[in-house]
Amino acid sequence: MSTTRPCSPGDRGPESGGSSGMSAAAADAPPERGQVRTLRLDGESGVVPLARDFARQALYAWGWLPAATADRRAVAEDVLLVVSELVTNACLHAEGPDEMRIACDNKVIRVEVSDRGSGHPSPRTPHRAGRPGGHGMFIVQRLCLDWGVVRRDGVAGKTVWAELGVPA
């Protein structure tokens, strides 16, 4: 379901502190909110594989990879696919991504991709499985518990977020 809520129901709200401007090597982990990592992508080349590698490193650091169970392996693979789709959409439709954040707590893994674009992502309707292209947000919608868009106040741009459930 596409929403424009800043956070999903029951979510803890946006992380405090805003953009950190930190590189991939300098990730942060606020102790009271679970694990959070931020990757600056503005001006980088090869951002899709860069973002996937960054997310994979976070999943290893958090003990998701190597996966202890088939359920965790499936969620880890879904996280990497969602990262690819959100970053690719920012490249194709929004002048490229500025930043990606990935967060994990005991209930959800949240992926956020910020860009300067003015468009609003949405799954193509009707979805045509046999045609190339246009499947990104359909995939995100199918894999995630929820997703949405947060507009930036006073400046162009937005953050597209998606949340995947942590298996019990």
> In the structure encoding, which two tokens stand for residue 4, read together?
């424009």
Other CB atoms within a 10 A radius of the CB of residue 53 amount to 15
Other CB atoms within a 10 A radius of the CB of residue 133 amount to 8
pTM of the model as a whole: 0.76
Question: What pLDDT is stored for residue 128 in this prediction?
Answer: 65
SS3 (DSSP) at 54: helix
SS3 (DSSP) at 53: helix
pLDDT (tens digit, 9 = 90+) per residue, 27-70?
A: 333 333 479 999 999 999 999 999 999 999 999 999 889 998 99
Torsion of CA 168, 74, 8, 17, to 10 degrees: 100
Question: What pLDDT is stored for residue 18 in this prediction?
Answer: 35
Lowest mean pLDDT among 15-19, 111-115, 149-153: 15-19
Residue 25 pLDDT exceeds 70: no
Q: How confident is the model at residue 124 (pLDDT cuts 50, 70, 90)?
A: low
Residue-averaged pLDDT of the chain: 79
Percent of all residues in the chain with a pLDDT value above 70, rounded to a whole number: 73
pLDDT mean over 94-118 = 94
Burial letters for 11-33: b for 16+ Cβ neighbours within 10 Å, e otherwise? beeebeeeebeeebeebeeeeee
